[in-house]
A and B are shown apart, each in its own frame.
Chain A
Amino acid sequence: MSEETTSESVAKGRTYGAFRCLNCFERVTVPTRTKTHKCPHCGFEWRISWIAPDFPRIRGPVWDVNRRLAEEATAKEKDGRE
C-alpha cells in the first residue's frame, strides 16, 4: 500500500470556516451562522448557507447589490479600454 497519493497531498491545503469569494477568489472567513457577508477584498456581497457548523458556502449573490457592483465594474473596465 503506497504512503501518500497526490490527492492526499493536495488535501493538506484544505481550510475550514472560510469560503473563497467567487468574484476575487480570496479566502474569506465568516462568523458562524452568518447569512450574508460582504467580501472585505472586493466588496461583493454574498448570501451564505452552512453545510456544517464550520463549513460555509456561498448560496448566491445579494442580487441587487451585486448587479449594481457588476454594472459599475463593467462600465469602469469599458471606460479603461476606450
Chain B
Amino acid sequence: MALNRQIAYIDLTTGDVKMKPIPIEIRKLFLGGRGLDMYLMYNHIEPGIDPLGPDNVVFVSAGILGGTLASASSRTHIGGKSPLTGFIGSANMGGFFAPELRWAGFDHIVIKGRAEKPSYLWINNGEIAIRDAGSIWGQTVHDTQQIIREELGDRDIKVLTIGLAGEKLVRFANVMTGMKDAGGRSGMGALLGSKNLKAIAVRGTMDIKIEHPEEALEYNRKIISQITSAKVSQTQGKLGTPFIWGATNTQGLIRVRNFQLNQLENADEVEPEALEELATGMAGCFGCQVHCRSKYIIPEGPYAGVYDEGPEYTSQGAFAGEPGCRSANTILVGNHLVNIYGLDNLETGSMIAWAMELYEKGILTIKDTDGLELRFGNDEALIEMVHRIAKRQGLGDILAEGPLRAAEKIGKDSIKYLIHVKGMSNLHSDERATPALALGIATGSRGADHLRSRPAIDLYHLPESVLRSIYSQPVPYDGPLSSDYHDYEGKPWQVRWQEMCYEAVDCLGICKYHTVFLGATLPSFEEWSELLYYNTGLELSPLDIWNVADRAYNIERLFNIREGMTREHDWLVDRYFDEPTKLGIPNIQGRTIDRDKFKRMIDEYYQHHGWDENGVPRPETLQKLGIENEPSHML
C-alpha cells in the first residue's frame, strides 16, 4: 500500500543504517514530506548546534502522494537547520527523485554525522549503501548524475546532488536533481557538503499499491482537466515561470538594482516571449501536464551551444532585473552556471546586486573586487561573480557567506543596503504597493519567502465574492476581504490561508503550481482530500488536511523560536517603509508600506494563528493541534 514506505536513519560517522515503519498515528498528524520532516527536525536536531557541524541532520523526503496517480506528485523536500539563517532550513524541488525514492521503499531519509571522506548514498529497492564519492567530488551537478549512472550501470537511476557550491560550503548552495530542479533557499546544499555527502542515488521498482485505483484514475482525469483548462497553466506551459516576471515587470512590481527601482524599463529582450523564442521546447516533472520548464541551447558567447533547462522567474530576476542587465544570453548563461554549480539563483543574484550597489556607492572599491567594474548593467562582471561565489574566490568568498555574515565582514554602511528577512534575500519582486505580499515576505518561516505564503492571486483584482469562496474554505472566515491589492484589511487572513495551502501540498508532495497559488481555479483542500483517499485510503477531510498543515507550521515556528527567533525577525528592511516606488503604472508609483498598519497586520496575522503578541504559539493552540508535548521523540 501507499503507506508502507519506511524511514531510513543513516549515520555517516559510524556507517550505521536503520529502518523504521511510520506509525499510522504519525501519518495522520503530519502526512509526509515537509510536514513529517518538520516533526523529525524538531525531534532530532538539538537546539543551538552549528548548522555546518556534524550534529546537524539532513532530512530528505517524498510527500505522501509521491509517485502515485496524483498529478504532479513529484516533489522532494530537504530539511535541516539552515546554514544561511540559523533557523529552519527547508527546500523543495520537482523532477523525478521523490517518486523513485518511494518506489525504492522509503518516504524519509534521516542523515546524521559526517563521513570521513567524500561519499554518496546508493538506495536500491530497500537497501542502502554508503559509497565512495572520489570519482564525483568536484564534478558539476550534471556530470555527477551521469557518472553515477555509468558507475552503477543503470540509466534510470535518479540522483540528488550538490555541485561545487555545496562542496565549498556556500551558505546558499542548493541540492539539485536533473538539469535544473533545485532544492533552493536556506542552503541545504552546504549542509550536504558539510557532511561530505555529494549525492544520493536511488532506484526503485517496488510498486505502490493504489488503494482505490479506478476511482483514483477517474478523479485524476478530473484534476487534469481542471489544471489544463486553467489559463495560468496554459500560459505557464508556453512561457514557463518567466511569465510572472513579465506580468509584474509590466506593472512595476519587481526589484531592480537592488531594490532601488521597481521596473526594468525597455526590457523587451528579456521578456518571457523573447526567451521563448530561444527555447527548443518545454519539459515537465513527474506526472505533470503543465510542462513549465524551457529547454534551451545558449546562442552565443563562450557558452554557445551548451544545452540546459530553465530559466525560471528567479533567473530572470537574478541576471536581468537585479543587476540591471538586458541580455537574454546573459540570463541563459547565468542560469546554466547556477545549475551546474548548484547555487541558489535568487540568493546569488541578490548578493551580486547588493555588491553592485555597494560598489557604486564606494563602499566596495576596485581593490575589493580584484579589478572588476562591479557596476549595474555590466554583464561580464555579473557572470564573473557567479564563478567567484561558487569557487569562493576574493569578494565571492565573502558573498558566499550570505547577507548578514557578508555585511558584517564588509562593514561600513553595507548592512543598510541589504534586502533580506531573517538573513535570507527577498525574491526579485517589489511588495511596497502590495501589503499582503509584503506580509508574506516578512513572516515566512524560512526567511524572506514567496513560496511559503504568497497570496499571488491578490494581484488579480478578483471580485470579493470569488475571494470569499476561496478563503472561507475549509475554515469558515467572515472577516474583511478586499479586491484591492493596496489594502491592508483582510490580507493577514489571506496570508494565513496560503500558508496552510502551501504547507499542505508540501506534505502531500504535489507541486504548488497545481494549487491556488497563481490561479484561482486550481485544486485546493477539497480536491486533496479526495486524492488522498483514492490513492492511500486515508480518510482526511479538507479541514483535517488544513490541521495537518497548521500542525506542521506551528512546529516550524517552535523550531525557530527555540533557535532564538522573535517578533523582530518578522519584519522588513527600511527601504520598504522609507523609499517610495519610482516607476510603473500610476497605481504602483509612489508607494511605501505604512509601518503602523503593517504592525497591526502582524498582530492580526498572529491572532489568526493562535499565537501571542510576540508570535509564540499559545498553549491552547498547541493543545488543539495535539503537539503540546513535542518534541515527543516517537520517531
- B-contacting residues of A (Cβ < 8 Å)? 1-2, 5-11, 13-14, 20, 22-23, 25, 44, 46, 49, 51-52, 55, 57-61, 63, 66-67, 69-70, 73-74, 77-78
A1→B243 CA distance, assembly (Å): 34
28 A–B contact pairs at CB < 8 A?
A1-B530, A2-B530, A5-B523, A5-B527, A6-B526, A7-B526, A7-B527, A8-B521, A9-B469, A10-B466, A14-B231, A20-B460, A20-B461, A23-B585, A25-B461, A51-B231, A51-B235, A51-B238, A55-B231, A58-B247, A59-B271, A60-B246, A60-B267, A60-B271, A66-B585, A73-B586, A77-B586, A77-B590
Tell whether A74 pairs with B586 under 8 Å between CB atoms, given A5-B526, A11-B521.
yes
A9→B540 CA distance, assembly (Å): 22
Contact A1 B215 (CB under 8 A): yes
Contact A60 B526 (CB under 8 A): no
Q: Which residue of B lies closest to A70 (CB)?
A: B586
Question: CB-CB contacts of B61-82 with A at 8 A, as 1s and 0s?
Answer: 0000000000000000000000
Contact B590 A51 (CB under 8 A): no
Contact B246 A7 (CB under 8 A): no
| Smallest CB separation, B14 vs chain A (Å) | 49
Q: Which residue of B lies closest to A63 (CB)?
A: B266
Query: Which residues 416-448 in B have Cβ within 8 Å of A in the complex?
Result: none
Which residues of the other chain, B, contact A61 by a CB distance below 8 angstroms?
Answer: 250, 585
Which residues of the other chain, B, contact A13 by a CB distance below 8 angstroms?
Answer: 466
Contact B234 A52 (CB under 8 A): yes
Contact A5 B524 (CB under 8 A): yes
Number of A-B contacts (CB under 8 A): 94
Question: CB-CB contacts of B389-433 with A at 8 A, as 1s and 0s?
Answer: 000000000000000000000000000000000000000000000
A69→B470 CA distance, assembly (Å): 35
Number of residues of chain B lying within 8 A (CB) of chain A: 46
Which residues of the other chain, B, contact A66 by a CB distance below 8 angstroms?
Answer: 585
Contact B586 A11 (CB under 8 A): no
- A-contacting residues of B (Cβ < 8 Å)? 215, 218-219, 222, 226, 229-231, 234-235, 238-239, 243, 246-247, 249-251, 265-268, 271, 273, 460-461, 466, 469-470, 473, 516, 520-524, 526-527, 530, 583-587, 589-590
Which residues of the other chain, A, contact B249 by a CB distance below 8 angstroms?
Answer: 60
A27→B624 CA distance, assembly (Å): 45
Report, nearest first, the 7 A-B pairs whose CB atoms are least far apart. Answer: A73-B586, A11-B521, A25-B461, A5-B526, A23-B585, A49-B273, A60-B250
Which residues of the other chain, A, contact B587 by a CB distance below 8 angstroms?
Answer: 23
Contact A22 B266 (CB under 8 A): no
Contact A59 B273 (CB under 8 A): yes
Which residues of the other chain, A, contact B524 by a CB distance below 8 angstroms?
Answer: 5-7
| Smallest CB separation, A47 vs chain B (Å) | 8
Which residues of the other chain, A, contact B523 by a CB distance below 8 angstroms?
Answer: 5, 7
Q: Which residue of B lies closest to A16 (CB)?
A: B231
Which residues of the other chain, A, contact B268 by a CB distance below 8 angstroms?
Answer: 60
Tell whether A7 pairs with B247 under 8 Å between CB atoms, given A22-B585, A60-B271, A67-B265.
no
| Smallest CB separation, B301 vs chain A (Å) | 25
Contact A1 B219 (CB under 8 A): yes
Q: Which residue of B lies closest to A24 (CB)?
A: B587
A2→B586 CA distance, assembly (Å): 44
A13→B473 CA distance, assembly (Å): 19
- Of A2, A11, A23, A67, the residue contacting B226 (CB under 8 A) is A11
A8→B218 CA distance, assembly (Å): 16
| Smallest CB separation, A33 vs chain B (Å) | 14
Contact A70 B226 (CB under 8 A): no
- Of A22, A74, A78, the residue contacting B250 (CB under 8 A) is A22
Tell whether A70 pairs with B273 under 8 Å between CB atoms, given A51-B238, A55-B234, A57-B235.
no
Which residues of the other chain, A, contact B589 by a CB distance below 8 angstroms?
Answer: 70, 74
A16→B460 CA distance, assembly (Å): 16
Contact B521 A59 (CB under 8 A): no
| Smallest CB separation, B247 vs chain A (Å) | 7
Which residues of the other chain, B, contact A7 by a CB distance below 8 angstroms?
Answer: 226, 516, 520-524, 526-527
| Smallest CB separation, A23 vs chain B (Å) | 5
| Smallest CB separation, B241 vs chain A (Å) | 14
